[in-house]
Every structure is written in C-alpha cells, then in structure tokens.
C-alpha cells in the first residue's frame, strides 16, 4: 500500500544542504584550520606485533629520541609516558609508540624514523586458527586466554529438532575477509591551547564522544574542552571513536610546545596498518529440514577475530535468528584475540560476516534438497507482522524483509534466469550464475534517549538546526532538516543546518552512524521541532486572522509550504515570516525516544505497545565466471533496503548505490595480507589492498530500491539504512557457486581469480 505523500520528506528534488560547498572545495575540513600558523605532528608505529617497550635499569623506557630531537625543525617528542591512550605493552604491529612535532610534516615524518625503540619481544599470535588452539601462546589481549564467549542464544530443543529432520547439512565456512576502511582522508586533527582551554578540530562521527575522551584522558573539566568537526573525508565507522585517539594525541602534542597549534596527520601507511578494520569470521553451521524445505533446527557457531583486544563488535546472528522461522536454534559467538590491529565499526558491523556463513549454508541445503535457494528462503521467511521468536517476543513496528526480497526478485527477473548450478553457459563461453540473499538486519533501530536537538526560528520565519553530530556522509544534517521542515510546515529551503559538530553550541546527538542516526537523532529533532512548532502556534493565536476566532487552540492549526492555517478553513492563513514578525525568539529543544520503543502509528502494531525497530535488506547478484581465467564479471546487481519511510530520498539512493559498490568490493577485492612471522600488515597502501576503481565497478549495472514499510515507532515511520544496504555481499558468493557448481574458499580474503581457479582445480 502506498504511503501518504508528505510535503518535504521523501522528495527527490531536495539535495544535500552542503553539497555545493563540497564540490566547490569550500567545506572546511580539520586540515584547513589555522593555515600557516601551525606546527605538524607525525606518529611512529611499533616494529613488532607482540611484546613490551623495554625498560632500562632505572625503569625508564628504552626509547632513544636523541637523533630525532637533533633534526632541524623538530620541536618536541612524545611517548606513552605523555599520551595516556598509548601503552608500554605492544599487542599489534604498527601500534603507536612515539610521536614528533616539527615545523613541517615531512620533517616530522622523517624524524619518527630516527627514533629507536628497544623491545622485549614475545611470540606473535597472528593467525586466529592458531590462537584458538589449546596451549597456544597468549596474544595479550585477554589475561589468560585468547578466546571469550561473546553471545549465545538457545531456542527450543536442538536434539529433538535434528531428530525430526529428514535432511541435515553441516558446513564450515572459512574466515571471511578483513579490511581497513580506506577513507580518502587519513586520520588527522588540529589542536591548540589557550590558557587552560584546549581546542581540537577533527574529522569525527561522534564529536561529543571525542570531546569526552579528551576530558577523561587528560583529566580536564568539561568546560575547558572545545571540540569541533565539519568536513569528513569518509567515515564508514572508522571515525566513531572506537580505537581512535588522534584527538587526545594532538592535545598532548600541543601541550608539549606550549599550546602552539599542532596539525597531526597520519601517514597513509600508518592509517592502513594501525587503525580499526572489519573483523573476520569463521562459521560452523548445521541445518535440519524436512523434505519440503521446512527448517526445523539450526546449530550455528562463529569465531570472530577481533585483533588485539576484545571490543563490542563480533559476528551477529540477528538475521539468522529473526529472518526465518526456526523453532530449534542454538547460536554462539566466540571472540578471538590475536596480534593483529584492532577491529571496530565498519559500515555494517556484525551482519555481513555472519550472513556470509548462513547464506552459503542455506544455498548448500537447497542443493541437497534439489530446491531453488530462493524458494527455500521464501518457504521459511517469517511474516512481517510475526513476533520475534525469542523473549520478550515483541513484534516489529515495521518489517519489510518480504518486500525487500520481492523487490530484487522482480527487478532481476530471477525466475527466468535461475538454473541448477553449473548448467548455463553464455554466448561468450562464460558460466552464468544468479543468487538472492537477504535478512532482517541487526541495525536500523532507535536509541535516542541520550540524543538532543535544537531548532531555532529566525525573525524571517525560517529555521536553523544545531546538530551535535558529525557529517561523515551527506545524510545526517540533511535528514534532520527534512524532519524539522516537515514538522514545522516549512519549505525545505526555509530550514538550514546552522552548525553541526561544535560541542560548545549543540546538544549531544551521539554517533553519526548511518544505521541509527536518522531514526535516533531524528526523534530528538522531531521533538525539538514540535516544541518550536507549539511555541510558534501559540504566538500566532494572538495574530490575525486567528485572534478573533473564539475558543481556538494550537490543535486547530496546521502548517505547510511555509504558512500556518486553520485546519477547518485553510483560507485563514499567515506566513511563517509574518508569524515571527514582532514575536520573541523561539528555540525548540528535544530529546529522543527511549530504549523501549512504543508504536506510534501504523505497521500492524497496536498503538502504545512495545515493539522492535530494525531495518531489512535483500540483494540479487547476476554474474559471469570465466572458468579459464577465474575472472568474475558482475552482469547485474540489485539492492533493496527497508527504509520504513524514506526521509532524504536523494541521500538514501546514494547510500544504496554505495552499499552495492561495497558489496562488490567485499566479495571480489578487499582483504588484508599479514606476514605470519612478524604479524605486520603488508598490504598497507591502496594498490596493495586491491581496492577497486570505477573501472572495476560499473555503477550502471546497479539497481537500487528503497522499500517503505512505514515503521510505527520511527519518526515519520523511518528506519536507518546505511549499514543494512552493504550487508549482502554473500549474494555474489552464492551466484559464483550457481555459475560454477563449486564453492570458492576466500582464504581470509576476497574471491579473486586465482581462488576461483583453485576451486575449479585449475590452480
């Protein structure tokens, strides 16, 4: 059913509020601060992956900075004794051990190479399979083990379920790929002191969190720390504050040179080797089904390599647990710590590696059942209005997983293209394959209770928003403008983003993550705009033509197209500009909706009942595989995401297209390479990391669809979508199987041509 058309929300003509400044090079980035007024900083990474910085007889660290300090132009050196986020203990290659401040960046980088560090070296544990083994040396990330149970879910009776099954399928999927975020702008920050106050500019997805990190690490009063962010050359989760500390480091560096401005810039090599990346996951899955394909049992285990320390990201069985009806289920995740760089947020975090495992398992089961894998999925797909299968058994405010599957199934003409594996050869001699995967995603929900928004009316009857979040993509400020304009009844161009990312002038809107910001911060700006609207409507009750109407209240008024009118008689109207004429200043404040979400509108959920809010996604990939060269060519890629309600249409479609490109990159290109002896990441540059270019990904082959299910809890019915839209690279892997009839072992990387040939027995 088509949703009602709104005045501002979902209009494709509404473009990015800051787009013109971006393309003209006028959006200010951290590196633009204080040109020709600053010193420069660079960081040295460790040359070992495991051990400690050795102490001398006087218990002082054996870090010789003499040569670095003697270098002309060098102003200061910092070590872990100065920087509270650094450590004497080394648990991954490239970990920060020292830094240099100099009068230019090249001198600072050169001087870091003159610093010598003496280490006590420990055994490197870089391979996750080795780390899991009993008796393995400890990597140092945990006190007495290399593994920790991360999460577990048990439902029904597993043994009874498998006993009932006509067919069982057991499969172990090797480690999925791991990769760095590869943002165009490497990590950098500019910091300076004025008396006891410190000022830091930095590319950030979570400015208030980055401010708090400075407060806590340097033991400062909150009013002494001033943090700012505007331009950001890519985020993808890498600028969310997880294992990221250039904000603290630059503050310390500036302190070392008497408060002078310092511009800390990581080298591209350091950026690629030291910083967070997507974790890799190995899965072992057993499925039980009846002959007709009905799933009756599943035992799923995952091991996630989290690098040098346990974080809060690992494989997520959310899609497996909730997309399909599985009455008997056991799902376990084990965190594995190794001497590799830390893992953290990466676009969609836990769902893609887990989906890589269970989507392949489902396709293998379909082959064993002699079924079309898509029909197997549809046989077991949970109804959109069905409650969750685990306590507290809440329904979803809006669950468009079926709509997502329908969208890619129809757009791709799947029914006319699918065939049994390895049975269709194209005219050029390549093998044809197609596959559809999808799931109810663990992201897209609301966590707005700690988020705030400010909306200010201007004397001209327009509005400004002040947003305490970052701009890692075009979507965040612009989506908030849409919500505010819709609530206030203003034209889109009459609402502007006044400032964002300035912690002194905004309420904390929390992390600008694409899977949650629009719904979570959006609920805060929804409430802030409602507050401003109520104040504005109250003011116009005393103005013509409403002042003479007996008994009128603000509930009798509506607004659209930058005018306020009597709902029962739209001829009685006043413009927002006239409404603000002579009216005292109006500023609306709002905080977001809390953790227990209550339905507010439709979606098949009783109003006021507790409900779940999540996104959903599906992808179809059509490929051609050259069995002589191993080259995989994408013939078509269809990507759909349940937006609930599309708030910012242009941004949503661009997110979906970018998600499609990331799926191709994850399947066919991305992958770190580590030296097993030293633990060093040896794919430390763009070329070595096999990053695709526009020549490798033909965007004209991407077809995207924003599916609207109208969530009953989200502001104006929306979900977050940026993580789910990159979740389904498993569709490409499954399509390669449909083409060739063999499963490609990615071997901790992507499905490169040599690995395809190896699977075919030709390499």
Compute the average pLDDT of residues 223-246: 92
Instruction: For residue 238, give the DSSP letter.
Output: T
Range among 173-177, 272-276, 427-431 with highest mean pLDDT value: 427-431
3-state SS assignment for residue 695: coil
Tell whether the model's pLDDT for residue 602 goes beyond 60: no
Compute the average pLDDT of residues 401-426: 98
Do residues 287 and 362 touch, judged by C-beta distance below 8 A? yes
Instruction: Give me the chain's average pLDDT, please.
Output: 94
Do residues 165 and 288 touch, judged by C-beta distance below 8 A? yes
CA-to-CA distance for 560 and 486, rounded, in angstroms?
8
State which CATH number among 3.40.47.10, 3.40.50.1820, 3.40.50.150, 3.30.365.10 fits the domain covering 281-445+610-759: 3.30.365.10
Q: Enumerate residues 6+ apart whose C-beta is below 8 A from 440.
A: 318, 319, 322, 323, 382, 396, 399, 401, 614, 615, 616
Task: Identify the pLDDT of residue 34.
Answer: 96
| pLDDT interval class at 349 (50, 70, 90) | confident
Tell whether the model's pLDDT for residue 604 goes beyond 70: no
Across-strand partners of 154?
330
Strand order in the sheet with 51-53: 89-90, 51-53, 119-121
Compute the average pLDDT of residues 677-694: 76
CA-to-CA distance for 400 and 441, rounded, in angstroms?
11
Dig out the tokens for 78 from the structure.
Answer: 């910092």
Fold classified for 450-591: Aldehyde Oxidoreductase; domain 4 (3.30.365)
Burial class (CB in 10 A: 0-12, 13-18, 19+), 547: exposed
Compute the average pLDDT of residues 58-71: 98
Cα torsion 37, 108, 675, 668 to 10°: value is 30
Any idea where the domains of the chain sit in the sequence? 33-122+187-265, 281-445+610-759, 450-591
Dig out the tokens for 694 from the structure.
Answer: 């526009």
Question: Which helix (H) or strand (E) element contains residue 687?
Answer: none
Q: pTM of this prediction?
A: 0.96
Count of beta carbons in the 10 Å neighbourhood of residue 195: 7
Indicate the range of 223-237, 255-269, 337-351, 718-732 predicted with least confidence.
337-351
Task: Identify the pLDDT of residue 547.
Answer: 96
**Tens of pLDDT, residues 521-548:** 999 999 999 999 999 999 999 999 999 9
Tell whether the model's pLDDT for residue 654 goes beyond 70: yes
Compute the average pLDDT of residues 682-697: 75
Task: Identify the pLDDT of residue 753.
Answer: 95
Task: Identify the pLDDT of residue 687.
Answer: 61
CATH H superfamily, domain 33-122+187-265: Aldehyde oxidase/xanthine dehydrogenase, a/b hammerhead (3.90.1170.50)
**Tens of pLDDT, residues 20-44:** 998 999 999 999 999 999 999 999 9
User: In the chain, what percentage of residues exceed pLDDT 90?
Assistant: 82
Task: Identify the pLDDT of residue 605.
Answer: 77
Task: Identify the pLDDT of residue 379.
Answer: 98
Question: Which helix (H) or strand (E) element contains residue 495?
Answer: strand 495-500
Do residues 640 and 466 touch, judged by C-beta distance below 8 A? no
Query: 84: cis peptide before it, omega within 30°?
Result: no
Residue ranges of alpha helices (H) inside 635-714 are: 649-668
| pLDDT interval class at 688 (50, 70, 90) | low
Task: Identify the pLDDT of residue 268.
Answer: 85
Task: Identify the pLDDT of residue 603.
Answer: 60
Compute the average pLDDT of residues 7-18: 95
Domains 33-122+187-265 and 281-445+610-759 equal at CATH topology level: no
User: What's phi and psi for 740, nearest 5 deg?
Assistant: -105, -25
| pLDDT interval class at 382 (50, 70, 90) | very high
Indicate the range of 444-448, 467-471, 597-601 predicted with least confidence.
597-601
CA-to-CA distance for 391 and 395, rounded, in angstroms?
11
Compute the average pLDDT of residues 448-474: 93
CA-to-CA distance for 722 and 351, rounded, in angstroms?
13
- Taking alpha carbons only, the member of 492, 744, 438, 397 closest to residue 621 is 438
| pLDDT interval class at 594 (50, 70, 90) | confident
Tell whether the model's pLDDT for residue 190 goes beyond 90: yes
Tell whether the model's pLDDT for residue 685 goes beyond 70: no
**Tens of pLDDT, residues 474-516:** 789 999 999 999 999 999 999 999 999 999 999 999 999 878 8
Instruction: For residue 388, give the DSSP letter.
Output: P
**Tens of pLDDT, residues 292-324:** 999 999 999 999 999 998 876 889 999 999 999
- Taking alpha carbons only, the member of 469, 450, 431 closest to residue 524 is 450
């Amino acid at each position: 059913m088509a949703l009602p058309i709104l005045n501002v929300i979902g209009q494709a003509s509404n473009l990015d509020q800051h787009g013109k400044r971006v393309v003209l090079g006028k959006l200010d980035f951290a590196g633009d601060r204080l040109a020709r007024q600053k010193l420069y900083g660079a960081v040295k990474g460790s040359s070992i992956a495991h051990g400690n910085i050795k102490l001398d007889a006087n218990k002082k660290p054996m870090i010789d900075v003499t040569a670095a300090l003697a270098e002309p132009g060098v102003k200061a050196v910092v070590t872990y004794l100065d920087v509270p986020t650094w450590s004497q203990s080394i648990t991954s290659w490239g970990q920060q051990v020292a830094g240099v401040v100099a009068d230019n960046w090249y001198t600072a980088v050169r001087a870091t190479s003159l610093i010598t560090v003496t280490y006590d070296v420990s055994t490197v544990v870089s391979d996750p399979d080795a780390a899991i083994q009993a008796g393995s040396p400890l990597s140092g990330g945990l006190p007495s083990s290399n593994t920790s149970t991360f999460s577990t879910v048990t439902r029904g009776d597993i043994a009874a379920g498998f006993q009932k099954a006509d067919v069982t399928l057991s499969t172990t999927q090797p480690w999925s790929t791991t990769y760095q975020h590869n943002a165009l702008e490497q990590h950098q920050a500019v910091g300076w002191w004025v008396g006891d106050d410190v000022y830091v500019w930095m590319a950030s997805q979570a400015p208030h969190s980055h401010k708090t990190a400075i407060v806590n690490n340097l033991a400062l009063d909150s009013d002494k720390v001033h943090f700012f962010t505007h331009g950001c050359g890519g985020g993808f989760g890498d600028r969310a504050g997880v294992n990221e500390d250039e904000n603290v480091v630059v503050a310390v560096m500036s302190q070392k040179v008497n408060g002078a401005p310092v511009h800390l810039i990581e080298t591209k090599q350091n950026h690629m080797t030291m910083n967070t990346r997507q974790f890799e996951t190995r899965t072992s899955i057993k499925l039980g089904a009846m002959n007709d394909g009905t799933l009756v049992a599943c035992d799923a285990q995952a091991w996630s390599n989290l690098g040098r320390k346990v974080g809060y990201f690992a494989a997520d069985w959310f899609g497996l647990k909730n997309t399909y009806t599985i009455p008997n289920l056991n799902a376990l995740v084990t965190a594995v710590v190794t001497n590799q760089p830390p893992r953290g947020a990466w676009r969609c975090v836990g769902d893609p590696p887990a989906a890589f495992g269970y989507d392949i398992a489902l396709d293998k089961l379909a082959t064993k059942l002699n079924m079309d894998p898509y029909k197997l999925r549809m046989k077991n797909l949970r109804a959109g209005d069905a409650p969750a299968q685990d306590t507290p058994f809440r329904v979803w405010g809006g669950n468009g997983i079926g709509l997502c599957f329908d969208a890619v199934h129809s757009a791709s003409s799947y029914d006319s293209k699918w065939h049994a594996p390895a049975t269709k050869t194209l005219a050029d001699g390549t093998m044809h394959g197609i596959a559809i995967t999808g799931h109810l995603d663990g992201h897209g929900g609301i966590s707005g209770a700690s988020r705030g928004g400010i909306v200010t009316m201007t004397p001209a009857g327009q509005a400004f928003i002040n947003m305490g979040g970052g701009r890692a993509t075009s979507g965040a400020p612009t989506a908030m403008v849409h919500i505010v304009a819709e609530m206030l009844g203003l034209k889109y161009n009459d609402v502007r983003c006044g400032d964002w990312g300035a912690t002194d002038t905004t309420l904390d809107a929390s992390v600008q993550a694409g899977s949650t910001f629009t719904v979570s911060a959006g609920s805060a700006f929804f409430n802030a705009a409602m507050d401003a609207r109520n104040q504005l409507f109250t003011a116009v009750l005393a103005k013509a033509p409403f002042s003479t109407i007996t008994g009128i209240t603000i509930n009798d008024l509506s607004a659209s197209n930058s005018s306020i009118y009597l709902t029962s008689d739209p001829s009685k109207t006043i413009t927002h500009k006239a409404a603000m004429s002579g009216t005292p200043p109006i500023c609306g404040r709002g905080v977001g909706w809390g953790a227990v979400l209550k339905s507010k509108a439709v979606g098949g959920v009783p109003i006021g009942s507790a409900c779940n809010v999540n996104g959903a996604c599906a992808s179809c990939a059509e490929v051609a595989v050259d069995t002589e060269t191993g080259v995989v060519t994408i013939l078509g890629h269809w990507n759909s995401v349940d937006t609930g309600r599309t708030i910012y249409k242009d941004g949503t479609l661009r997110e979906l297209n970018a998600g499609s490109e990331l799926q191709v990159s994850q399947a066919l290109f991305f992958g770190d390479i580590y030296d097993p002896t030293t633990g060093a990441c040896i794919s430390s540059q763009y070329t070595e990391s096999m990053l695709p270019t526009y020549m490798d990904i033909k965007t004209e082959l991407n077809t995207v669809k924003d599916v609207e299910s109208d969530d009953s809890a989200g502001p104006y019915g929306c979900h977050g979508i940026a993580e789910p839209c990159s979740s389904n690279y498993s569709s490409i892997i499954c399509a390669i199987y449909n083409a060739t009839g063999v499963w490609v072992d990615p071997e901790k990387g992507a499905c490169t041509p040599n690995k395809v040939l190896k699977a075919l027995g030709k390499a």
